[in-house]
Structure 1
């Protein structure tokens, strides 16, 4: 059970809200009039309290003497949002006047009402437990290195990584129009690197930035000094709009399996920890594993940390790439693409010069285990239901088309993940 935040007055508003979380259920303790202004306070409190993996909400109405249609409207919006996630809003301790208002408005039956918040949490918490048990029956979970894990099988066909552009040119800030690779949208499903969208290499060059392709959509962070991501989702590839890239790596082939992961520690798991877990699993479970993993992410963030980019003519070796940021976007949705390389194993299967052309050494880390390179670009969305039972690729397409876009960043391994569904592709070949 998380401790409740203290009741705080918002300005001079007569409505006060306290928040706590218990048994997977968010509880908002309301105190004051749920009129027009109180409805705005409730709406803001719910927006801050409900994260993308929350499905159940209890409104403690014990100290709410007044309710109007403004308050009911907010309650209905919350009910619809959580029902779409397979959850619900319940009331607790509703007083005589608010109950009469709900009855006259025709909405009394819409909201289950319990005598106390504790009783409401007990009932809704059991529903959360049943959902977890059902998922376990479909795919049993196990615990490893601070994570609760379930596995879904994918395809057994081999996967490869293809190189576009020239890493050496990017590393040494020698990017010019002739060095830009031209990538058709039909040529990539998942990719990351340095690039932009445009009509010609000359037009694109001033705007090259960190980019990621996810299920055919392109998101990039132009290096124009505005620090504002841009994105494009094509309906079809006419061949007339292309991606220009100084360096990119794209996945060719399917995901071998899907790892459904939940952090046991409340503070979440570091991205680097999860990559090590995935590499160790690949070593044990996939005899053909050659040290390189391509990874698609659909996750709920506990805190994102990212690298800055230069404002002009970006280089992977630029010192500003090493600067981190304060963790942010807690409870929001992350979709992304990444690569993890166990160098000790990869060097046994691939030529070192080929590895150097694919993977920058700036991401190498060694925490007492095998040397590892990671590279991850992620896109943040908000108000997206997290349902690990859904198809990763289908849900990613839905998020990119309908989600509330927030940001795109190059993720540091210090980024913390609360929950995730991860597509894993052991790479059998590197195509230059």
Structure 2
């Protein structure tokens, strides 16, 4: 009887402190999706602002329902062949009790489920930045449903689910370098290779219409990312969460400064867009690595990612793919950099005793990171391209060319972001409204 009594005594009990901490982190991660909407919304032209906001915002609705119905079960249910999970009690959350604890932790299953839900929401929203100006909203919504079902839910299981092949291999991904950022960046590349370039790409000016919105969005992302990263340890008992919090701040600062330095040397100016983009690049790179590296290592990770991402965003002009808002250059490249740099900078004093090359650990962890990175990248790119191809050949992915030129906001949402007439209200409901379209579009494209 003694062993049984000991096990009962040692069993985790619900911690109100950790539960409250994780609920706050969940709210912070939720805030990141509206923050992303502002970040992307400011980077597009006036005539596409609302569409860009909506492409992020709709994910809050669609993915939430899918997550409750079957997504949580697919991602974190009992392993099925190291590829996907499934637990019937998780379907519709019908078999989850309010005090049931997530195995091995002191937080309820509901808390873990809602925290992971916020990751599932923002990941497909990241893809939308590559598709600005040209995708039907209905097609995007259907793509979102299919993509999270076929790509995100299984990949989340690979990386974080017990029994998932990457998890069992020992791939380190603290908060989503592979499952979120590489996944979204590769998906963006796959889709844009199918749907093609915007009208006027490399010919017409497509500058951000509101850099203050971009900076606001970047600030909200930076703020919310502390919940995204520190919360991923699912508690606050052993110091790993605080380490991740510190490394998040340090790497982001380093990446912003590195991007600005590269920009000044290459282009002769320190831009606000560069500062915002550099910060996001640092946040992306430290997401997988922050629990494994020291603060000095975080500086290195951030600085390297800042320069690499700044270099990568220009590739779209050389290679001819229209990644509208640099999702590939920042999220895919930043995610790859942050994930692989674990193999070099893991200190063995963070989330585990795993050491990288620079700490005497050899190349063992590096090859594991390579396996996780390139498997997720290849799967997401190919699967996403296939989904986009099927949708494009059936319902059509792109709006007609004349609607793209005149403004996707009016065509898809019957609204405009700004009422330049001063009459109030954005809904197009009068015969005079269409006359506003041409001057507004002409003004923005000038």
* TM-score above 0.5, yes or no: no
Short-chain TM bin: under 0.3
Higher strand share: 1
What is the TM-score with the length of structure 1 in the denominator?
0.23
Higher helix share: 2
